[in-house]
Structure 1
Amino acid sequence: MTAIGPGPSSEVPDTARHRALAAASRVRMLDLVRRTEGGVTAAEVVEATGLHPSTVRAHLDQLAKSGLLARQRRSDGSPGRPAWRYLAVERPEEHDDGAGRPYREMAAALIGHLARDADDPQAAGVRAGRDWGRSLVAPLRETAVRTTPMDGLVQVLDGLGFTPQVVDRPGPGAAVVHLRSCPFLELALAHPDVVCGVHLGVIGGALGALGASAADTDLEPFAAPGVCVVRVRTHSAPMPAAAAEPANGERACP
């Protein structure tokens, strides 16, 4: 499969984080922990959320197993064994001085701006994503291999690091695709309307550039443990291959 640009490989920790964030309650708990200096105990989460203690403990333990939280015992001087205190794990990008850090910071700033200032943040994300999706198709057009718009879309998503898997083709031009990793997970957690809107726009923009009109496109974030689900139905024709050059090296006239 042709990769378009660098993208993170599909690794177990990323899938584990998807599973941990598949429940809205765990997303809220993670946000609570990140906003609380010094972390929280399960009892404090129960008080803040109103959920049953056993439910809270199960959710916190899953967040810890996924690597999103750490836990430690801190004594406050009271008799008995101290309760577990859950703390947010610092994200790798916070200490990454490599070349990718400025791009992540710029993306975070732009997405934050759209989330705060756009009249309709999701629609703005979709529009930006369409432009990006069209640009991602250019490398496919430079090859001499014919491909359907749906297959081309899978290549685009794979190149971005989503680890796509087509799980169903319910009809001509239709597909259900599972995205098993997300290279933008932290941004999606902070600004889901904008980031998921961008992803939806990428799908539509790529399909359009590949010769399809997306009649019905849907992206359901965290629809199942470990996956986001894309459902697409298009009217399409195979993408034309790149024009072959004559044997003498001259280019054919348009």
Structure 2
Amino acid sequence: MGKGPSGETIDTPAHRALGSASRVTILRLVREARAGLTAAEVAAATGQHLSTTRVHLERLAEAGLLVKARASAGLPGRPAWRYRAAVADPAPGPYRALAAALLEHLPDGPDGADVAGAGWGRRLAASLPADAGPVEAVTGVLAGLGFGPHPTPASPGNASAEVHLRTCPFLDLVGQHPDAMCGLHAGLVRGVLESRGMTADRPVLEPFGAPHACLVRLPVQRAA
């Protein structure tokens, strides 16, 4: 254990996690990667065994230095974890404590979280002007929750608009419950879209889908 500026003993999870030169190297690699890294990519860069790399990455995530989410690439099967540096400011403590308590009562897996998030999104969207379009509604709800959304207009020939989420007010909970929290946020977006008579024809939220941001793809085809 080290000493702080005033001589006090430093013994935090982050400090203990960085007591290994290998983990310091891995943290630096992940921080330098704009889109984050999977365990296989880190292992290839460091020459470590994949299982050893996974242990180091999980230790850094548990310490709050990294956050992980499924690295969706449109491939069949369960995607690998992708790790990125935890840099965003969290939501206030009471809100995180409430969210953490609610997560314990959600059904296992992302589907239950998606359903709960959709209901949340519909309720939040009800306070928006009735004439707000889907992109305006989604960005309004996400901005109110502290996600810092940055919309990008749909390009010619592309029916989808993109919204980059550069902050996550629940980032520490994403590290603890990645599938549930990402599923909750995806459901939130779906619920807002449904409140505007829209459905999404593809996953609406891609964790780490853009450099330094999660990616929301807005829709979209009219609901039947």
TM interval, short-chain normalised: 0.5 to 0.7
Q: Relative contact order (alpha carbons < 8 A, sep ≥ 6): 1 or 2 greater?
A: 1
Match of residue 152 from structure 1 = 137
Match of residue 109 from structure 2 = 121
The AA in structure 2 aligned to 1:189 is G
Give the number of the structure whose alpha-carbon radius of gyration is greater: 1
Moved over 3 A (4+): 33-39, 59-62, 100-103, 170-173
In the TM superposition, 1:15-26 aligns within 5 A as none
Match of residue 212 from structure 2 = 226
CA distance in 2, matches of 1:130, 1:40: 42
Match of residue 121 from structure 2 = 133
Match of residue 107 from structure 1 = 99
CA distance in 2, matches of 1:89, 1:229: 22
Structure 1 unpaired stretches of 5+: 1-32, 47-54, 63-85, 91-99, 238-254
For residues 40-64 of structure 1, give each alpha carbon's deviation from its aligned partner in whole angstroms, at most 9, with x where no partner exists.
2214x38xxxxxxxx43733886xx
What secondary structure, in the 3-state scheme, does the structure 2 residue paired with 1:204 have?
helix
CA distance in 2, matches of 1:177, 1:57: 27
Corresponding residue pairs, total: 158
What secondary structure, in the 3-state scheme, does the structure 1 residue paired with 2:144 have?
helix
Task: Give 2:21's match in structure 1, choosing from 36, 42, 46.
Answer: 42
The answer to whether the aligner puts 1:56 opposite 2:42 as a matched pair is: no
What secondary structure, in the 3-state scheme, does the structure 1 residue paired with 2:202 have?
strand
For residues 49-101 of structure 1, give each alpha carbon's deviation from its aligned partner in whole angstroms, at most 9, with x where no partner exists.
xxxxxx43733886xxxxxxxxxxxxxxxxxxxxxxx9x589xxxxxxxxx53
Superposition deviation, residue 173 in structure 1:
5.7
CA distance in 2, matches of 1:61, 1:151: 32
Match of residue 29 from structure 1 = none
CA distance in 2, matches of 1:135, 1:236: 20
Match of residue 5 from structure 2 = none
How many percent of aligned residue pairs carry the same amino acid? 40
CA distance in 1, matches of 2:198, 2:115: 17
CA distance in 2, matches of 1:182, 1:202: 14
In the TM superposition, 1:190-229 aligns within 5 A as 190-229=176-215
Structure 2 unpaired stretches of 5+: 1-11, 33-59, 66-91
The AA in structure 1 aligned to 2:112 is A
* Contact 2:96 2:170 (C-alpha < 8 Å) held by counterparts: no
TM-score, with normalisation over the residues of structure 1? 0.52
Match of residue 17 from structure 1 = none
In the TM superposition, 1:1-20 aligns within 5 A as none
Task: Give 1:164's match in structure 2, choosing from 121, 125, 149.
Answer: 149
Match of residue 10 from structure 1 = none
* Contact 2:189 2:204 (C-alpha < 8 Å) held by counterparts: no
What secondary structure, in the 3-state scheme, does the structure 2 residue paired with 1:40 have?
coil
CA distance in 2, matches of 1:227, 1:203: 16
What secondary structure, in the 3-state scheme, does the structure 2 residue paired with 1:131 have?
helix
